[in-house]
Amino acid sequence: MPVHELARYLPAKDAVVVSIDVKALRSAGLLEALAGSRVTEESDYRSFVDITGFDYRTDLDALLYSSSNGNIYLLASGRFDWNAITSYASGQGASCRYAFCRMRSSQAGKWLSFFPLRSNVVGFAVSQDELAALELQQQADSLPSGMYSDPASISLPARVFKSDAAGVPASLTPWFKLLAGAQSARFGMGLRNGDFEIKMRVDCPTPASSAEIAQRLNEGLRQLREASAANVGDAPLTGLPLLLSRGDAKQEDRAVVSTWSVSQGFLESLLSGRI
């Protein structure tokens, strides 16, 4: 099932949403770089593959994730042997009935529940509600145009840009503060002219607020470029800051947009931690 169709089943209100067109990334040769080879070396993962025959590198086609109010939902499409998966889950303590499984999560007070939404789609949930995965049966009537058109994307709600937001990685907090007042932000990665293109769109309540956010972003990017040029403390920019420093923000009515062109080599190095 294509990502944009799968997304209609995902609870997305006020949620952090990640979409990955695994099939497209596999074709582009980036799947290993995105997922990390360490996954395939973990003994638990190897055991799962040996028992169920499922390997994300070849059997997974699309993955959607959402997180809100302490609940996590996952939708995965691909090729699954459900009998093998339920057998493995039962061996891990799951209770399975009528193709619906639930088990205690590693997170205190929470349950992992999962079931086959379609023959090629599995839905998962982590929640205090032991039947939360059943929420994935509900379809949205429509989705914002083009929202899931990129091979990989992440959408962020307004709550993560607040100064007291919980769960935000410390390395991202300074950047999220620059987006304070935005209604949402979306980052998508696609292909263009042989290179990868990362696109940002920040939606704002008014043109005045988008102008203010664009100004803050450009000031932050300017400071990054100056720090890189000066080689402050003999510590040149690396990773995400290096990538961000190569762009600028542009106001478009009630939105702020930016685009970064990234070579496959640079992206692979970034994802692997070499830069």
16 with 159: CB under 8 angstroms? no
User: Is pLDDT of 175 > 90?
Assistant: no
Q: In whole numbers, what is the pLDDT of the chain averaged over residues? A: 83
Stretch(es) of the chain classified as CATH 3.40.1000? 3-137
Q: Between helices 82-91 and 43-52, what is the axis angle to 10°?
A: 130
Q: What's the confidence (pLDDT) of residue 272?
A: 55
DSSP conformation letters of the chain: --HHHHGGGS--TT-EEEEE-HHHHHHHT-HHHHH-THHHH-HHHHHHHHHH---HHHHEEEEEEEEETTEEEEEEEE---HHHHHHHHHHTT-EEETTEEEEE-SSTT-EEEEEEEETTEEEEEEESSTTGGGGGGPPPS---TTTT-SSEEEEEEGGGGSTT-SS--TTTHHHHHTTTT-SEEEEEEEEETTEEEEEEEEE-SSHHHHHHHHHHHHHHHHHHHHHHHHTGGG----HHHHHHTT---EEETTEEEEEEEE-HHHHHHHHHT--
pTM of the model: 0.84
pLDDT tier at 170 (50, 70, 90 boundaries)?
confident
Name the residue type at position 224.
L
Q: In this structure, which topology does domain 3-137 adopt according to CATH?
A: Protein Transport Mog1p; Chain A (3.40.1000)
What is the rounded distance in angstroms from the CA atom of residue 230 to the CA atom of residue 240? Answer: 18
175: tokens are: 């950047």
pLDDT tier at 213 (50, 70, 90 boundaries)?
very high
Q: What's the confidence (pLDDT) of residue 235?
A: 52
pLDDT per position as a tens digit, 128-165: 999 999 999 988 776 666 677 888 899 999 998 987 77
pLDDT per position as a tens digit, 216-265: 999 988 887 787 676 655 555 556 666 777 778 999 999 999 998 877 66
Percent of the chain with pLDDT over 70: 81
User: Is pLDDT of 100 > 70?
Assistant: yes
Q: What's the confidence (pLDDT) of residue 262?
A: 76
Q: What's the confidence (pLDDT) of residue 226?
A: 80
Q: What's the confidence (pLDDT) of residue 181?
A: 93
- Poorest-pLDDT segment among 24-38, 74-88, 255-269: 24-38
What is the bridge-based pairing of β-strands 250-252 and 16-20?
A: unpaired
Q: What's the confidence (pLDDT) of residue 140?
A: 77
User: Is pLDDT of 85 > 80?
Assistant: yes
pLDDT tier at 123 (50, 70, 90 boundaries)?
very high
Q: What's the confidence (pLDDT) of residue 25?
A: 83
